[in-house]
Amino acid sequence: MTDSNNLGSLRDALEESVERFALIADAMPQLVWLARPDGRFEYFNRRWNEYTGLTVESANAAYGASKGVVHPDDLPGMWERWSGALASGQNYECEYRLRRAGTESYRWFIARAAPVRDERGAIVRWVGTCTDVDEQRRAREGLAFTARADEALFTSFDLKRTFADFCSLIVSELADVAIVALADVDGSLRPVATAHRDPQSAAVLAGMRGQRILTPEAEQREWLRLRDGRPRVIRHFDVEAGRKQLWPYLASAIAPMRAHASVTIPLESRGATLGGLYIFYGTTAFDPRDVPLLRDAARRASIAIENARSFERERRIAETFQRAALPLVLAQPVGMHVDAIFQAGSDEVEIGGDWYDTVLLRDGSLLVGIGDVMGRGLQAASIMARIRQMISVAALYEPDPSRILATVDELVRQAVPDLLVTAFCGIIDANRTLLRYANAGHRPPLMRRSGEIIELKSTGLPLGVRDAGPSETATAKLEGMDLLVLYTDGLVECRTAIRGGEERLHEAMRSDAILHTHAPAEFIRDSCVLEGRSDDVAILTVRFDAPTGWAFTAENAQAANDARGDFVRYLRANAGDRDAIEAAELVFGELIGNVVRHARGAIDVQLEWCGEGALLHVIDRGPAFASIGGLPSDLLSEGGRGLFIARQLSNRLAVEHIGAYGNHVTAALRLHRLRQVE
């Protein structure tokens, strides 16, 4: 019998007698109620009393609120519809969750009510039912959740982006916190994606991504639990106990979680444990019925991991082939620093045609080139290798960049008709004072001079059609020039970007940090390349100086110690004040120690002489941090103390956060360079 028929039967029974109505209502599986014309209740059947624990008196006392009975998220909609029905006299219908008495468990009900009218048509009361539709509702929502999870997990092979969307979905529909942690190459368990309902807490958790958050003992215990293969449910989560499992400097990250329950689902594939899915409930009530849904989602996530890794293996093979067609060693003329990087597109397995090259010519000048063969696949890669070689050989006999490109254009049109290739060819003279260049439809390179970004424009059609339009060799003076950047269009083209790629590139080049890293091409890539980029990226940079510097990783303590020793030996040979050298060594140690405590990955250290003084530059890959003016409130705390000491031993100390890259700390050391040393 449908709810409509039930309401009709109840209304008929009510017209016959109240006693008959009560008898039928108590025999029904639904929750049955009567309300007066103003909406206040006057009767509940036995099933209502058993499920909600409310009597007519207690329900009317809380009328207008119903807190603790109807789910808080459903209250506004329920009262809006009920008030509308009372005002219009139309039938009432609404779905909401009701809490079972004595528990924190809610179930979905569909409430329907119809007015009972007298012979004049006036409403004398309302008769209503609440029918349990929890299973149907959860099945429907489960199917919808699974569909959205599949969309998040299987639209991209980029695991970081995939799991970021996946965690956001879980947080929006089921829980307060979601974390996916996977095994790293060193066997450690590291979060790759996090999400939290509260934006401020989400930002704190985001700082844990990629870090080894558990102590070795806790990590070992966690791996044993994950390898057990069964979901782990903690109904009363102890935040303090959870804090003790983390490294001390990360313990504060768990505080915003405010969790009262947690679920851990192992991520497994083909008998191997890949990691874990961690779900925490804070303001959201834990529902045991979420566990099967999360377990199914975890199985799908494991498949996504395998798919992504399979794709990555295929792409690595393709990328290895493409890298083999690029120069193995870059020419490094005296007084210059040449750097380059290539990165394959994030969503493509096929090989592309991006390339770069440098050749030191017989007269001491330097050929720099970059280009992109239109299309993808083995043919594009093989053509790319041939064109790169053609330009290198032509430059040995032809000093004019425009004629070099014209020669290659003729060879291309003969060998591969209908092919289009964009290319830039430049020659830096032996005195490093002049750049002569020509362009074949490629993006103009950029130069930095005294913080200003200059675009090197010139005319010329792509190779393959170059004879159909004008071409020229242009020149640029290199006096005062800091940096030359050549790049392919994958660096600045991204369909999902809010800010333009060229704007991001100019911003990265204006940063002083780019002049003080040993890998400016990598700096540009990491500052500019966004998720969602599908095209290959090639970058070639030329610095017009040879800086004094050291590069190592935060995890390599021996390399950091060796760099500190080299730094001191260099200062003893180039600076005269012993006390100032000792102070500079302390600044060096404190700044490196600060990075090691808060970041992982590459560290760049460079010493720049400015007049008679010196600037120490330290660039890391960690999250943003602030430079405090005084000592931390907790004098035993490691946080902030190192920067305070470095500030006291320097003339000034500045901290710059560099977008998606990291941080740049500059300390003005109290050093004077020996005049006899150049």
Token pair listed for 301:
């996530």
Instruction: Please name the residues in contact with 309: beta carbons below 8 A apart, sequence gap of 6 or more.
Output: none
In contact, 540 and 356? CB cutoff 8 Å: yes
pLDDT score, position 65? 57
Task: Based on DSSP, count helices (H) and strands (E) in the chain, helices before strands.
Answer: 18, 25
Amino acid identity for residue 283 in this structure: T
Amino acid identity for residue 328 in this structure: L
Distances (CA, A) of 670 to 158, 376, 581, 582: 47, 55, 8, 10
- Dist. CA 121–CA 123, nearest whole Å: 6
Distances (CA, A) of 667 to 127, 493, 521, 545, 598: 78, 36, 24, 21, 18
For the chain, the residue count is: 678
pLDDT score, position 141? 87
Alpha carbons within 13 angstroms on the beta-carbon side of residue 599 total 24
Q: Distance of alpha carbon 474 from its chain centroid, rounded?
A: 41
End-to-end CA distance of the chain, in Å?
A: 97
pLDDT score, position 286? 85
- Dist. CA 10–CA 140, nearest whole Å: 30
pLDDT score, position 247? 80
- Dist. CA 70–CA 99, nearest whole Å: 6
Buried b (16+ CB within 10 A) or exposed e, 328-367: eebeebeebbbbbbbbbbbebbbbbbbbbbbbebeeebbb
pLDDT score, position 15? 65
- Dist. CA 444–CA 436, nearest whole Å: 13
Instruction: Please name the residues in contact with 140: beta carbons below 8 A apart, sequence gap of 6 or more.
Output: none
pLDDT score, position 641? 72
DSSP 189-222: EEEEEEEESSHHHHHHHHTTTTS--B-HHHHHHH
Residue 588: DSSP 8-state: H
Instruction: Please name the residues in contact with 477: beta carbons below 8 A apart, sequence gap of 6 or more.
Output: 433, 434, 435
This model's pTM is above 0.75: no
Amino acid identity for residue 26 in this structure: D
pLDDT score, position 6? 64
Could you give the residue ranges of the DSSP H alpha helices within 479-599? Answer: 501-510, 520-528, 557-574, 578-598
Residue 491: DSSP 8-state: G
pLDDT score, position 644? 85
Instruction: Please name the residues in contact with 203: beta carbons below 8 A apart, sequence gap of 6 or more.
Output: none
Alpha-carbon Rg for the chain, nearest whole angstrom, is: 34
pLDDT score, position 225? 92
Could you give the residue ranges of the DSSP H alpha helices within 364-513? Answer: 378-397, 401-415, 501-510
Other beta carbons within 10 Å of 389: 13
Residue 247: DSSP 8-state: -
Token pair listed for 157:
């092979």
| Residues of the chain where predicted confidence (pLDDT) is lower than 70 | 1-6, 8-9, 11-13, 15-16, 64-67, 251-257, 318-319, 322, 346-352, 375-379, 468-469, 494-499, 530-534, 612, 626-640, 675-678
Distances (CA, A) of 526 to 206, 335, 427: 18, 26, 27
Which candidate, 528, 542, 450, 444, places its Cα nearest to that of 494? 528
Residue 70: DSSP 8-state: B
∠ CA 598-599-601 to the nearest 5 degrees?
Answer: 160
